[in-house]
Structure 1
Amino acid sequence: MWTCQLMIASLFWGALAATVTSLNEGQPDNSRSCPAPGGIEHGRVEQVAHYQCDPYYRLRGRADGLYRCSQQHTWVNEAVGEELPVCEPVCGKPKNPAVQVQRIIGGLMVAKNSFPWQARLLGQHNHTSGATLISDQWLLTTGRNLYLGHKENATLEEIAPTLKLFLGQGMSAGDVERIVLHPEFPGAVNLALLKLRHKVPIREDVMPICLAQQDYVKVGRVGFVFGWGWNIHFQHPAHLKYVMLPVGDSAECLEYYQKHTWHPLLNNKTFCVGMSELRESTCLGDAGGAFAIHDPEDDTWYAAGILSFDRSCSAARYGVYVRVLSVLDWIKETMAAH
């Protein structure tokens, strides 16, 4: 009598789908399990469970999803033992990625599902800004975005219920459960993390962007920025727009703003991005969006920065971004702690 029965159906444990097969399967009956497989001469049969993730998810860490029935009658994986594998969202792999189709760095209407991590954030009195999906339950935005329409002394508990987030083709992301401001906000780092009450399903039009693990911020390197910031008519557009912009020289940017009436936060945790060749730039409502870099080596999109200062609107030479690499430890620690 076999203690670990052979299964041919899909078993859904949490977000996992486990398809169980055998090296020598018997014929299935009308129930959810098959009879024990027959033996063979000069050989043996092994019961194997193979976990596979849904589309747009992948197995985390070292687990390959292959489990065997041990002598102790438990399912065991060579790498992680009896611990079940976890399916985590794929990041930075849009099905229809944007490409730079012209030599001129400029702006275009967004292609369908090209930037599935971009969220639209509506605050008090429907103030529009941006947010960036970085997991199936967390987003990055600016701290100042959260206070739009609120008094300066408003508490985070008061602000959270007023926020509305939309992903993909206008899908509501649900309620915001928690807001975590960067410990150096507002003096040095204009950044906040938003935790959703429930995880959002990852699919073609809703997918997190990967966080930069290396320094992509090099002068002249072109990144993609997107959002619903004001257009030339001082209105928020109906459709998501994006623009390709170059990283600017930090010293020149600092000198520029020292002489300007605007004084955005500039320090070692920020970087500047210039205008396009058509003098396009970001504008009010774009803050919270990512400066997205495509790394051709692994064909993955990374958030190198989060737009902090979006008031340039072609009137100022530079937009200012929080450097993701400089706050990466805080992001990981915060998500793990909550």
Structure 2
Amino acid sequence: CRTPMLLVASLLWGALASPDTSQSCPVPRSIEHGQVEHLARYQCDPYYQLRSRGDGLYRCSQQHVWVNEAAGEVLPICEPVCGKPKNPARQVQRIIGGMMAAKNSFPWQGRLLSRHNHTAGATLISDQWLLTTGRNLYLGHSENSTLEEIALTLRLFLGRETPAGAVERIVLHPEFPGAVDLALLKLKHKVPIGEAVMPICLAQQDYAKVGRVGFVSGWGWNVLLEHPKHLKYVLLPVADSGSCQVYYQAHPLQPLLNNHTFCVGMSELRESTCVGDAGSAFAIHDPEDDTWYAAGILSFDRSCQAAKYGIYVRVLSVLDWIKETMAAH
């Protein structure tokens, strides 16, 4: 920052790109009774947003160091935009049956293949972390298997069959399996964010109100008890927890029901989620900020058409654990 010129810089993957001198502006001319200020402005690529204590504008100090008024010498970070799909699913009516998802409608949807090709869901929540159920990870494994052994057998796909790479770390919720059926997966490498692959935002408020309709996508069994070749989704309503608990008290299936979960009913066409959908998000579109949020993660996916309610882990109740885990690793 020794020459008197205006420098507009872009922040690409956390580093300042070297300016192309062949296309740079000429040194600005001096003005009488004035001076030229040395500036650098950090900007993010499409589908990323600037996170900084300051505004991204850095000035060349007398010590020849780039400094931001609020952040000092600390560089800003470009973090992925979440919950802004280019081609969002539309609610044609209050509740509809299962439909084939259009391209890039659910860019946070992951497909998890565990040992022996067991299919399950996973939800992208950053460019390196996904949520799924703890039980999904043990499909094809014994209870004595270590998380390191399980991680080596997992295959993850995002978007249209795009491999997400190796899983570096598995973190089970501390109350798994007794109370919270949830796990975090950290990828070895960050995935590029764009139209086809984009995380969903985590709910910062309680969207799981009775009657609220959410979108659930996945590769769960269809009516032929087969995993579909194309991603499908269904609109389902949040159900009354009391009725749900009474229902399962007299049912042979006994899912986890507690303060960490909420129940979701069937569509008007009596469609629901099924085997292979667990780990997918109960996605809510908030019209106030035009953003999609994960209100829940499907835990009990064996309702199909044989049980009235699906069970979801309430994201808001585990939000602190998610944030703390991601920050610690």
CA contact (8 A) 1:11 1:19 kept: no
Alignment partner, residue 53 of structure 1: 44
Is 1:199 paired with 2:190?
yes
1:322 to 313, 316, 319: 313
Alignment partner, residue 302 of structure 1: 293
Alignment partner, residue 6 of structure 1: 5
CA contact (8 A) 2:221 2:274 kept: yes
Is 1:127 paired with 2:118?
yes
Using the TM superposition, give the Cα deviation of residue 82 of structure 1 relative to its aligned residue in structure 2, in angstroms.
1.2
Alignment partner, residue 203 of structure 2: 212
Is 1:162 paired with 2:161?
no
1:280 to 256, 271, 278: 271
Letter in 1 for 2:101: V
CA contact (8 A) 1:49 1:66 kept: yes
Matched residues in 2 for 1:108 and 1:11: separation? 41
Gaps of at least 5 residues in structure 1 are 21-27
CA 154–192 in structure 1, closer or farther in 2 if over 3 Å, else same: same
1:247 to 213, 224, 238: 238
Aligned length: 329
Using the TM superposition, give the Cα deviation of residue 37 of structure 1 relative to its aligned residue in structure 2, in angstroms.
2.7
1:140 to 131, 138, 147: 131
Matched residues in 2 for 1:246 and 1:61: separation? 38
Alignment partner, residue 116 of structure 1: 107
Letter in 2 for 1:6: M
CA contact (8 A) 2:52 2:75 kept: no
Using the TM superposition, give the Cα deviation of residue 35 of structure 1 relative to its aligned residue in structure 2, in angstroms.
5.7
Using the TM superposition, give the Cα deviation of residue 108 of structure 1 relative to its aligned residue in structure 2, in angstroms.
1.0
Matched residues in 1 for 2:102 and 2:12: separation? 36
CA contact (8 A) 2:101 2:231 kept: yes
Using the TM superposition, give the Cα deviation of residue 14 of structure 1 relative to its aligned residue in structure 2, in angstroms.
3.9
Matched residues in 2 for 1:5 and 1:314: separation? 70
Letter in 2 for 1:265: L
**Aligned positions of 1:180-191 closer than 5 A:** 180-191=171-182
CA 98–17 in structure 1, closer or farther in 2 if over 3 Å, else same: farther
Letter in 2 for 1:250: S
CA 61–258 in structure 1, closer or farther in 2 if over 3 Å, else same: farther
Per-residue CA deviation, residues 210-239 of structure 1 (Å, 9 max, x unaligned), is 000111110000000010000000000000
Matched residues in 1 for 2:82 and 2:182: separation? 21
CA contact (8 A) 1:306 1:324 kept: yes
Q: CA-atom RMSD, angstroms?
A: 1.9
Per-residue CA deviation, residues 254-274 of structure 1 (Å, 9 max, x unaligned), is 000001000100000000000
Alignment partner, residue 169 of structure 2: 178
Per-residue CA deviation, residues 54-73 of structure 1 (Å, 9 max, x unaligned), is 11101014332111112222
CA contact (8 A) 2:209 2:238 kept: yes
CA contact (8 A) 1:60 1:88 kept: yes
Letter in 2 for 1:77: N
Letter in 2 for 1:15: G
CA contact (8 A) 1:9 1:33 kept: no
Give the stretch that moved more between structures: 6-15 or 80-89. 6-15
CA contact (8 A) 1:19 1:52 kept: no
Using the TM superposition, give the Cα deviation of residue 107 of structure 1 relative to its aligned residue in structure 2, in angstroms.
1.8
Is 1:289 paired with 2:288?
no
TM-score normalized by structure 2?
0.95
Matched residues in 1 for 2:285 and 2:38: separation? 42
Per-residue CA deviation, residues 86-122 of structure 1 (Å, 9 max, x unaligned), is 1000000111111102344322110110110000000
CA 13–92 in structure 1, closer or farther in 2 if over 3 Å, else same: closer
1:40 to 31, 34, 39: 31
Moved over 3 A (4+): 4-20, 30-36
Using the TM superposition, give the Cα deviation of residue 207 of structure 1 relative to its aligned residue in structure 2, in angstroms.
0.4
2:65 to 74, 94, 102: 74
Among all aligned residue pairs of Structure 1 and Structure 2, give the percentage whose two residues are the same amino acid.
76
CA 32–295 in structure 1, closer or farther in 2 if over 3 Å, else same: same
CA contact (8 A) 2:95 2:213 kept: no
Gaps of at least 5 residues in structure 2 are none
**Aligned positions of 1:14-25 closer than 5 A:** 14-16=13-15
TM-score normalized by structure 1?
0.93
Secondary structure, aligned partner of 1:114: coil
Matched residues in 1 for 2:12 and 2:4: separation? 17
Secondary structure, aligned partner of 1:52: coil
Matched residues in 2 for 1:15 and 1:7: separation? 21
Letter in 1 for 2:56: G
2:302 to 303, 306, 311: 311
Give the stretch that moved more between structures: 42-51 or 228-237. 42-51
Alignment partner, residue 251 of structure 2: 260
Letter in 2 for 1:120: R
